[in-house]
Amino acid sequence: MKKPKLLYVEDDVYLSFVTVDNLEQKGYEVVHCKDGKEALQCFRKQGFDLCILDVMLPKLDGFELARKIRETNPEIPILFLTAKSLKEDRITGLSIGGDDYITKPFSIEELTLRIEIFLKRSRINITDTSEVNKMRVGRYLFDRATYTLSDGTGQARLTPMEAELLRFFCNNRNKVLRREEILNAVWGNDTYLSSRSLDVFISRLRKHLRRDEQIRISNVHRMGFIFQVEENERAV
């Protein structure tokens, strides 16, 4: 079986040595880069299954690196490594297309758990491309296997977590969903992401769906969200 290939970008020599060693022992192929420019060159030349990006990088910071990665590959999972005290970094990272973040210091077990959540979903989407995965959401056709959202004017490719969030909303339309319920169902845990981080993903989804006024993701005060579409979704 082919090893999952990870792009890991970190300029801390000791931390990167320990992290790469542990990830390789757990069965991953890891390409380590010490700065953003080197990482971008590697990404453009090689194929990866997942990116792990430190925010504070020389030559090209993690945010700008993620933006450039997203320009060529909208769907590859991106995990940011952020300093525990810099909450704004987490929000910024998610806003530009990141899928998750891990705060430093972190354990290898925590990092591996986050990696496996993304890789498991990628494997499911690769192997399950049946028509059942296609769902009508208002004016849009949502292909849950390829992360695409299309209508008569064009097609957008969602990130993995945007697609998972939309999938969860579609399967639970017209229900009030608590924040912790959403975090557990989509991210597998309600302790990693804050409520404010979830708001970023909700805003990203609203932006993707903005051309259809019949689709609403409404805040329910002190509870969570409700996803509503005037025309019921149907499999196609």
Q: What is the pLDDT of residues 179-217, one digit of tens each?
A: 889 988 887 765 556 566 788 889 999 999 998 989 999
Q: What is the mean pLDDT of residues 102-106?
A: 85
Residue 218 or 160, more confident: 218
Q: What is the mean pLDDT of residues 36-47?
A: 95
Q: What is the mean pLDDT of residues 84-111?
A: 80
User: Topology of domain 5-127, per CATH?
Assistant: Rossmann fold (3.40.50)
225 forms beta bridges with 177, 219
64 pLDDT tier (thresholds 50, 70, 90): very high
So what's the pLDDT on residue 155? Answer: 87
So what's the pLDDT on residue 187? Answer: 79
| Position 103, amino acid | T
Q: Is the dihedral of CA 56, 57, 58, 63 positive or negative?
A: negative
Residue range 142-177, pLDDT digits in tens: 988 788 899 878 888 888 888 889 999 999 999 999
Please state, for a pLDDT cut of 70, what percent of the chain lies above it.
87
137 forms beta bridges with 140
Query: Whole-prediction pTM value?
Result: 0.74
Lowest mean pLDDT among 4-8, 73-77, 194-198: 194-198
Contacts for 119-128 with beta carbons within 8 Å, 24 or more apart?
Answer: 119/4, 119/49, 119/50, 119/77, 121/160, 121/164, 122/49, 122/77, 122/160
Report how far residue 145's alpha carbon sits from residue 127's, in angstroms, rounded to the nearest whole number. Answer: 9
Q: Please report where in the chains the tokens 């993903």 appear, as a residue.
A: 201
126 pLDDT tier (thresholds 50, 70, 90): very low
Is 131-235 a CATH 1.10.10.10 domain?
A: yes
36 pLDDT tier (thresholds 50, 70, 90): very high
- Select, from the ranges 74-83, 111-120, 212-221, the one with the highest average predicted confidence (pLDDT): 212-221
Domain boundaries, the chain: 5-127, 131-235
Q: What is the mean pLDDT of residues 107-116?
A: 89
**Is residue 236 pLDDT above 60, yes or no?**
no
Contact 108, 23 (CB under 8 A): yes
So what's the pLDDT on residue 104? Answer: 85
> Cα 116 vs. chain centroid, distance in angstroms?
13
Across the chain, what does the average pLDDT equal? 85
So what's the pLDDT on residue 116? Answer: 87
